[in-house]
Amino acid sequence: MENVGIVVEDLPGAIEFFTELGLELEGQATVDQDWAARVCGFDELRCDIAMLRTPDGDGHVELMSYHTPTAIRTGPANAPANTLGLHRVLFAVEDIEGVVAGLRSRGVELLGELTSIEGAYLFCYVRGPEGIIVAFAEKLG
């Protein structure tokens, strides 16, 4: 997989959230070319994007903030984990307790608990930008 795309209203805030998790901002641009509108099925398109690379260099998160057409929300702002559709991204981390502590210092709370999965992983969910669920897993042993 190359990347996961996330539409956000607050692009700077979303960039800050993901860079604090260790992703590296590769670049930002405004996209308003005809080909982009055609790909998305719009008559016209203008959006700001930011591409962030995961620490291992193998994956990316693409953040998009639409100006034209304006973004729409089709479901609840803080949809629960069992909502149909794509709304969660998971990151493998080496120090999940440190990640959680850093997020808590920014006011981000766990959705449930930091949980051991059969002694193999520590796992948790937090609410990220625009209400998406961001999961973290630390392999144990």
Q: 125, 133 in Cβ contact below 8 A?
A: yes
Using CA of residue 138, residue 101, residue 85, residue 46, what is the dihedral sign?
Answer: negative
Separation of first and last alpha carbons in the chain? 27
Q: Per-residue pLDDT tens for 91-124?
A: 999 999 999 999 999 899 999 999 999 999 999 9
- Residue ranges of domains in the chain: 3-68, 88-139
The CATH number assigned to the domain with range 3-68 reads 3.10.180.10
Residue 87 has pLDDT above 80, yes or no: no
Q: What are phi and psi of 47, to 5 degrees?
A: -150, 150
Superfamily of domain 88-139: 2,3-Dihydroxybiphenyl 1,2-Dioxygenase, domain 1 (3.10.180.10)
Give the strand order in the sheet containing 60-68: 3-7, 60-68, 46-53, 24-31
**Euclidean distance between CA atoms 47 and 62, whole angstroms:** 12
Percent of the chain with pLDDT over 90: 78
Provide the whole-model pTM.
0.88
Q: Which residues pair with 20 in a beta bridge?
A: none
Q: Per-residue pLDDT tens for 4-25?
A: 999 999 999 999 999 999 999 9
